Amino acid sequence: METVLLYVLGIVVVVVGLAVSIALHELGHLIPAKAFGVRVGQYMIGFGPTLWSRRRGETEYGVKAIPLGGYISMSGMYPPARQGGKARTASTGFFQTLVQDARETSATTVIEEERTFYQLPVWKRIIIMLGGPFMNLLLAIVLFAIVLCGFGVQQVSTTIGTVSECVLPATSERQECSPSDEEAPGAAAGLLPGDTIVSIDGTPIETWEQSSAIIRESPGVPLAMVVERDGTDVEITAIPRLTERYVYDDDNVPVEGSDGELLTEDVGMLGITAAYELTRQPITAVLPTVGENIASVTNVILHLPERIIDVAEAAFGPEERDPNGPISVVGVGRIAGEITSIDTIPVVERASYLIGLLASVNVALMVFNLIPLMPLDGGHVVGALWEGIRRWFAKLFKRPDPGPVDTARLIPLTLVVVIILGGMSALLIYADIVKPVTLL
C-alpha cells in the first residue's frame, strides 16, 4: 500500500510541477504583453471547459479542465484583411473559411485599435512570443541549480562499494563464483565495503581512477594500502592478480578489434568496485548541464519522424522502446511514480531525481515551443521576423510599407500541425501505457 501511495505521490508532483511550468510559460507572455500595452482578455491554464476563473481588470484568469497547455488571449493576434480584399465564406473552400474565421475572431477582441498585438513593432512582438520559452529556460536553470548545487550528483568516490569473492576473466561465461574459484585478492587482503582508500604505497589517493591505475599496473606486486574504516586508518597489503579485462575507450565504451571482437588486455585486479556518493557541483556546472539537455532535446526533435516510427513499431510490435526516445506526459508521470516508489533509494536522492525530471521537462517545453511552425511560439517569431525583413527592404528601396504579415493565411498549416501533434501525442500516450519506458 505504501508503494502505491508513493507511486501516486510521484505522479502528483509531476502534474503539479507541469502545471506550474505551463503557468509560468504563459506568464512569460503575459508580463511583456501588458508592459507593451497589449490588451489581454484571458490568461488560462489548460484547455476545454473552464473549471475556475476570476476577472481582474480587463483580464480573466482561470483554469480549464485539460491541463495539457495554456494560453493568453491578446487583442488583434491576426491583422485584418487588406483593404479591398474579398472576404471569403464557406462557399469558396474550407481552408479559406478558416482564414476568414480567424480574422473575424481576432477582430472581436479588438476594443482599442492602438492596443492590438499586430500593431506592435516587430521587436516587441518577438519579445512577447519568446517570453514563454525564456521563462521555461529560467525555470530549468533554477531547478538544475538546485539539483547540482543543492543535492549534488552521483560521482565515483574513493570508497569501496563492493568486494568480489573471486576474480573472473572478462571472457568467462560465468557471472557467479564457484567453490573451486580462488579468492579475489581484495577479499583475501581483508578489504571491506565501506573502506575509503587513503593511500597506496605512500601515494595519497584523491580519485578512484588514480587507485585503479596503480592497481592495473601492479600485477603480482604487493601494495601497501591504507584505508579508513570506521574513522580509523587500517594498513593492508594486497597483491593484484593478473586478470583478463576488456579494453575501454575514453568514453568508457568497449573497443572492438578489426575482426569485430571485443579487445581484451591483461591487467592487475583486486576485485573491488567504487561506491558512488552525492557530490555538490559548483554553480559553473549549471549552464553546461542545461546546454547538454537543450542539445539532447534538439536532437530528438530533429529526428522526430524516425523516432515516432520507432515508437509505433514498439507499441504495435515486439520491439523494445528506446529509453532515450520521446515520451508523453503519461510516460513522465510513470517515471516519476517509479522514482518515488523505489524504497532502496534515499528520500533525498528521489527528491533530486524528481526535480531534475521537472528541469528536463522545462527544457523540452522551451525547445519544442521554439519550433518555427504555427501555432507554436517559434512560428509567431518567424512571422514577425519575416514582416521586419519585408519592411526593411521596402524602406531600403523606397517602396510603400507592405504592412503586417497576414499570419491568418497560415491557419490551414496551423490546423495540419495541430492534427499531426495531436496524432503524435495520442501515439506516445498509447505507447506509454502498453509499452512504457521504465526505470525498473
Catalytic site residues?
26
Q: Are the C-beta atoms of 200 and 191 separated by less than 8 Å?
A: no
What letter does residue 283 receive in the DSSP assignment? G
CA–CA separation, 114 vs 121, rounded Å?
Answer: 12
Total Cβ atoms within 10 A of residue 133: 23
> φ, ψ for residue 208 (rounded to 5)?
-65, -35
Determine the Cα–Cα distance for residues 31 and 28; give it in Å rounded to an integer.
Answer: 6
Helix locations, 94-167, DSSP H? 94-108, 122-145
Residue pair 262/245 in contact by the 8 Å Cβ criterion: no
C-beta of residue 233 within 8 angstroms of C-beta of residue 186: no
Joined together, the cell numbers standing for residue 407 give 499570419
Q: Whole-angstrom Cα distance, residue 437 to residue 229?
A: 40
CB 387 within 8 A of CB 43: no
Count of CB atoms situated within 10 Å of the CB of 242: 11
Q: State the alpha helices, DSSP H only, in 36-121.
A: 94-108
d(CA 156, CA 206): 11
At position 318, the amino acid (one-letter code) is P
How far, CA to CA in Å, does 279 sit from each of 91, 152, 309? 67, 5, 39
- Name the amino acid, one letter, at 365: L
